[in-house]
Amino acid sequence: MRAMQIIEGKPLEARAYPDPEPKAEEVLLRVEAAGVCHSDVHIWDGYFDLGGERQISLESRGVHLPFTMGHEIAGEVAALGPRASGVKVGDKVVAYPWIGCGECAVCRKGEELLCLNPRTLGTRRAGGYGTHVSCRTAATFFRMTGCRRTLPRPTPAQASPPIRLSRRHAAIWLLTTTW
């Protein structure tokens, strides 16, 4: 597989790795699209800005470089671990990235988004800025049934003004859309 990764203080870099092999209940997703979120820019900066000159470093949150960002992921199921269920190879899905540890009281209560030991795709674990991403379980997918593969072109009356991307946003967009 190939992944666009953060290398400290540098533009994203293409790197090659062996395709992940799903284990247990894991599902391997072949990425067809990955959104660019403002949090990706913070991750690239190496910290989250809390305002008032306060920051949380990625390293303090368990993120180590090189790292594959991207938590807005859609694609096709490519392979299943031996105990995976709920999807089949070829299914088109959107991955729900906010995955908790699955073991703490918060997760057992069904509030994985608030887990203090998360395994979030693209912010704690390798995300969708690659050709493939390994997901913990099929329960973290939403099926894409009935979705159009392309968006209709807006008429001139519907078109919004041009979006101005920062150089960094444009670089992320370009690198993740031109495999």
Question: Can you give the CATH number for the domain in which 78 is found?
Answer: 3.90.180.10
Give bridge partners of residue 56 from the DSSP assignment.
48
As a three-state string, the secondary structure of 51-66 is ECCEEEECHHHCCCCC
Helix H or strand E encompassing 94:
strand 92-95
Residue 159 located in a structural domain = no
β-pairing, 132-135 with 27-34? antiparallel
- Tell me if 33 is assigned to some domain: yes
Task: Report how far Cα 170 is from the mean position of its chain's Cα atoms.
Answer: 18
Q: pLDDT, tens digit, for every residue of 86-123?
A: 899 999 999 988 888 889 999 999 888 889 888 889 98
Give the pLDDT band (50/70/90) at residue 150.
Answer: low
The phi and psi torsions of 101 (rounded to 5 degrees) equal -70, -25
The confidence score (pLDDT) of residue 157 equals: 45
Please check whether residue 101 lies inside any domain of the structure: yes
> Locate tokens 């790292």: which residue?
67
Q: Which domain range does residue 27 map to?
A: 2-146+169-177
Burial class (CB in 10 A: 0-12, 13-18, 19+), 23: exposed
The total domain count for the chain is 1
pLDDT in tens, 29-87: 999 999 888 888 878 888 888 889 999 888 887 888 899 999 999 999 999 999 998 89
